[in-house]
Structure 1
Amino acid sequence: MTSRDLTGFLPLGEPRPVSSALPRRLSDMAWRIAFGAIGWPWLLASLSGGRPADKRALLDELDLAHDALPHLGSWKADVGFLRHIVREIARLRPAHVVELGAGASSLIAARALQIHGGGRLHSFDQHDGFVDATRRWLADHALDVDIRHAPLTQESADWPGRWYALDQLPERIDLIIIDGPPWSVHPLVRGAADSLFARLSPNGVVLLDDAARPGERLVARRWRKRWPHIDFRLMQDGTKGTLLGRRRDTSLPVANDDDTGRTWRHMGRAAAIAALIATGWIARGELGEFPQSAQASSFLDEAAASRRAGLLRQGMESQVESATLNPQEIEQSTGIVLPAFPAGWRVTDVQLFPTADSPSIAMSMVTPQGEQLSFFADRAETPAEATPMMARRQGDTMAYWEAGSMAYALTGQADARRVMQLAGEIARDS
């Protein structure tokens, strides 16, 4: 069986562990029961692999037949996650990509590497027969992948559950794709993927599938504390959510846990989780309800705040403005792709603007007609589409839209129709 085949609701079965101590096995079972009780909305949402039109567009981009991935969803990657893989490979042109959990993502990553630079995909999966079948499937598409059987026989000192027995890893990894092990091993088991983060190259990227699930959200929270030099951001443009981490500053120390009594703490945490589930705290108060659409309000608030900061900076002699625009440097440093602006527009200020998860870009611009505008760019987390939508903030008109993985906002005090017209000119070329 490969990712071409129709699969069941649950992942492939796992062999029963024989070496784990009894307290840890009981702790793992308690976590699985607890998260199974609250995780059914996420599991139901995962049945959809994404819109057929989006899948066809992705396959067309990679020059693959439309039946190359006939079945997505359930425990397989969805179109949103696969799209992130293609985007990051096209941007990074990585030499080495490590994938945890083979399948649909293997085909997409290998083909994207073949098109963008010819890097090497190192893929690991715990199911020996599935590895052999996937290797043959990829060979049918003329794709050479280093795919290996990695049984779940290891135990992480920092994370619960059983982990892959990995070998022959590259010294430097440019992209880490995490789509395994399944949550049925342990809801937090994918946290152990951070054992590879020290190998991540500068500007390297981590992609975690199923990032909207409760377990993965707790993993992401802990990763943010343990790895402060990696900017993690939840992208909700797919059916299951993608956590995107981008490495930046490496000068900060890495946190670590105290090993003392870790096994018994697992049991204590499991008991606490069970109590919290009874009150609905995790499912609603801490993690947010699901499913729900990503909201544009925070993005627009940040865009409005960046405009106010820009106007304030223009009126202060002590604040330095920078009119130098270098889109390539911005993309390389932040991952933000700026659109092409209409001819004659003059940039008066370009600044990094801090947001909750990573820096965004704030710009001040003047049109040939003398209209003063503010432009804001960040990674997409809005329900917008390619056609600009309108909003108002503190007397300003804001037009906002998405282009791929980017979200943009154009703000000004001009007539609303005029702002929308100007935004439309940018959006058409995005």
Structure 2
Amino acid sequence: MTSRNVTGLLALPDEDADERSDSTWSDRAYRIAFGAIGWPWLLYSLWGGTKASKRELLARVGLGEDALPHLGSWKADTGFLHRIVDAVEEIRPRNVVELGAGATTLVCARALQHNGGGRLFSYDQHRGFVAATAEWVEKEGGTAALRHAPLTAQVRGWPGRWYALRDLPDTIDLLIIDGPPWAIHPFVRGGAECLFDRLSPGGIVLLDDAARPGERIVARRWRKAWPEIRFERLAGSTKGTLIGRKLRSGQVIPMPHRARAERRPSHWRRAAAMAALLVSGWLAHDVVGDVAPPAHAASFFDEAAASYDASQARQRMVSQLESTSLDRAEIARATGLRLPDLPRDWELKDVQVFPSDLGISVALMIVTESGDEVSLFATRAETPAEKLPLLERRERRSMAYWEEGSMAYALTGELASERVLALASELAGQPARS
């Protein structure tokens, strides 16, 4: 079977005896917990993209109408496949490494043929699928070196089983990550960082399924551990795409930040806590209701709350002079941070650029047209939200937060939750949530 065939929601089962190993209790707990909160993403992934998008994709790489009859489910959607072609056209890679074979293999192979050549090394854990995909790619006129890579290895610092990779190129210009499946562990794709040292200057990393909760946490860890690679989550696909670009010599990211060393609970303790939450119903409630956010967003909320308190304190202090001059272009050039437009009838009271545990950040103190006093906190971070603002409560404060690309924003005020959410929706350009 290849990606030409109709498939179910879940990925193919392991077919090699050497791939089977008893997963830990911690791994099973994580799968249960993230399955409970991730089922909307799994259902949404069944949609593989529009027919028009697929026709455009096939035309870009010179394939016939029936070359990719079935997309979606555990296979890449048209949005991710277009991103692959975009990357090949942009950097014309000499060496491409792909983790997880299928439709991506064929599309990438054809894109390379149309853009100066290049070698494609594709790895997958299913021996039969590798053989069938190799035959399919060859039949469609593509060239790829497909390798069977059983899930028998481990990557330090990441849970789950990893590919036993062989015959890797010394340098990688484009790294495509579409495996292993989340059923191994929600964070398993984080192990791809074992290849980041091979990434050439200007090289690109593409991670599929980047909107899922597990991949969001992976992205957050990568951003902290690899400041020389600029990561950004992109829209335009049903499952989300994370793109990383390795800086060329002379390029800098303003004030790169590495996480401070902190003592973390062991894997089994975190898994036990998550399983307990699941049993008590909190994780299921989080899908449909308003409860505490996942732990990986806590630092963002803490920083936003602290910036609000600091802005309030500055307003009360005679010795601290407020700055009411806001130059978005200058801030973007100096910090790499983008700020949303403010409504014309909102009054800016203070602007501050400051370091935080998340890296360089910006805080604005604002009075709305109705006299509501709020602060806007902006930085690069991963949160549970996307473009539609979500709500968080901290003591007497209400906080509405959202994301735009790699940017995260939080609007905080001592107002009714509905009011803060409406103001945030106005800033985000989204309708208010009822």
Name the TM-score class by shorter chain.
0.5 to 0.7
Q: After superposition, what is the alpha-carbon deviation per residue over 1:155-208, rounded to whole angstroms, capped at 9, x for unaligned?
A: 222100000000111111001000000011111100000000010001111100
TM-align CA RMSD: 3.6
Q: Determine helix, strand or coil for the equivalent of 2:24.
A: helix
* Displacement of 1:254: 11
Instruction: Please give the alpha-carbon distance, in whole angstroms, between the structure 1 residues aligned to 2:271 and 2:17.
Output: 19
1:120-165 CA-to-partner distances (Å, cap 9, x unmatched) read 1000000000000000001101212110000001122210000000
| In structure 2, C-alpha distance between the alignment counterparts of 1:37 and 1:95, rounded to whole Å | 41
Structure 1: distance between partners of 2:19 and 2:136: 34
Contact 2:67 2:140 in 1 (8 A): no
1:181 maps to which residue? 180
Distance apart, 1:268 and its partner CA: 1.5
Equivalent-residue separation in structure 1 for 2:34 and 2:63 (angstroms):
37
Q: Distance in 2 between matches of 1:171 and 1:256?
A: 29
Contact 1:217 1:287 in 2 (8 A): no
Q: Would the aligned equivalents of 1:86 and 1:108 in 2 still touch at CA under 8 Å?
A: yes
**In 2, distance between residues paired with 1:257 and 1:122?**
36
- CA displacement at 1:286 relative to structure 2: 3.9
Specify the alignment match of 1:61 in structure 2. Answer: 60
- Opposite residue 10 of structure 1, the aligned amino acid is L
Give the TM-score, by structure 2 length.
0.63
For 1:100-179, list aligned pairs within 5 A.
100-179=99-178
Provide the residue aligned with 2:373 in structure 1. Answer: none
Name the CA shift for 1:97/1:256 in 2 (closer, same or farther; >3 Å).
farther
- Is residue 336 of structure 2 the alignment partner of residue 354 of structure 1? yes
Superposition deviation, residue 100 in structure 1: 0.1
- What one-letter code is carried by the residue in structure 2 that aligns with 1:355? L
For 2:9, the aligned partner's letter is F
Q: Distance in 1 between matches of 2:121 and 2:214?
A: 26
Moved more, 224-233 or 13-22: 13-22
The alpha-carbon deviation at position 101 of structure 1 amounts to 0.1
Letter in 1 for 2:208: D
Cα distance in 2 between the residues matched to 1:171 and 1:129: 27
The alpha carbon displacement at 1:306 in A equals 12
Matches within 5 A, 1:37-48: 37-48=36-47
Question: CA 1:18/1:140 → structure 2, altered by over 3 Å: closer, same or farther?
Answer: closer
- 1:201 — aligned with what? 200
In the TM superposition, 1:402-421 aligns within 5 A as none
Gaps of 5+ in 1: 289-304, 314-349, 359-380, 384-404, 406-430
State the match for 1:8 in structure 2.
8
User: Is the 1:49–1:77 Cα contact (8 Å) retained in structure 2?
Assistant: yes
What's the offset of the Cα at 1:272?
2.8
The CA distance in 1 between the partners of 2:19 and 2:88, in whole Å, is 38
Give the structure 2 partner of residue 270 of structure 1: 271
Question: CA separation of 1:254/1:201 partners in 2, compared to 1, >3 Å: closer, same or farther?
Answer: farther
Matches of 1:265 and 1:170 in 2, distance apart?
35
For 1:187, the aligned partner's letter is P
The code of the aligned residue for 1:54 comes to S
Change (3 A) 1:54 1:287: farther
AA in 1 matched with 2:6:
L
Report deviation, 1:352.
7.1
How far apart are residue 231 of structure 1 and its match? 1.0
CA deviations 1:43-70 (Å, max 9, x no partner) are 0000000111111111111111111100
Aligned partner of 1:321 in structure 2 is none
Tell me how far apart the structure 2 counterparts of residues 306 and 248 of structure 1 sit (CA, whole Å): 32
Cα offset for 1:236? 2.1
Contact residue 15 and residue 126 of structure 2 kept, 8 A = no
Check the 8 A contact 1:276/1:282 in 2, yes or no: no
Match of 1:99, SS state, is: strand
**TM-score if structure 1 supplies the norm length?**
0.64
On the 8 A contact 1:306/1:353 being kept in 2, the answer is no
Provide closer, same or farther for how the CA distance between residues 282 and 148 of structure 1 changes in structure 2, counting only shifts above 3 A: farther
Where does residue 247 of structure 2 map in the other structure? 248
1:247-276: CA deviations, max 9, x gaps? Answer: 116799997999xx99x8221221233345
Partner of 1:85, secondary structure, is helix
Query: Is residue 2:196 matched to residue 1:214?
Result: no
Over 3 Å counting, the alpha-carbon distance change for 1:166 and 1:21 in structure 2 is closer
**1:14 Cα shift?**
2.1
| Structure 2 unpaired stretches of 5+ | 296-323, 339-357, 360-385, 389-404, 406-434
- Cα distance in 1 for partners of 2:50, 2:155 equals 37
Contact 1:126 1:150 in 2 (8 A): yes
* Contact 2:110–2:141, Cα closer than 8 Å, also in 1: no
Preserved CA contact (<8 Å) 2:126 2:150:
yes
- The question of whether the paired residues in 2 share the 8 Å contact of 1:135 and 1:145 is answered with yes
Is contact 1:227-1:254 (8 Å) kept? no
* SS state at 1:211 partner: coil
* Segment drifting more, 125-134 vs 8-17: 8-17
Task: Provide the rounded CA distance (Å) in 2 between the counterparts of 1:247 and 1:216.
Answer: 19
Distance 2:10 2:232 in 1: 27
* Match among 279, 282, 294 for residue 279 of structure 1: 282
Partner-residue secondary structure (3-state), 1:135? helix
Moved more, 272-281 or 86-95: 272-281
Partners of 2:275 and 2:217 in 1: CA distance:
15
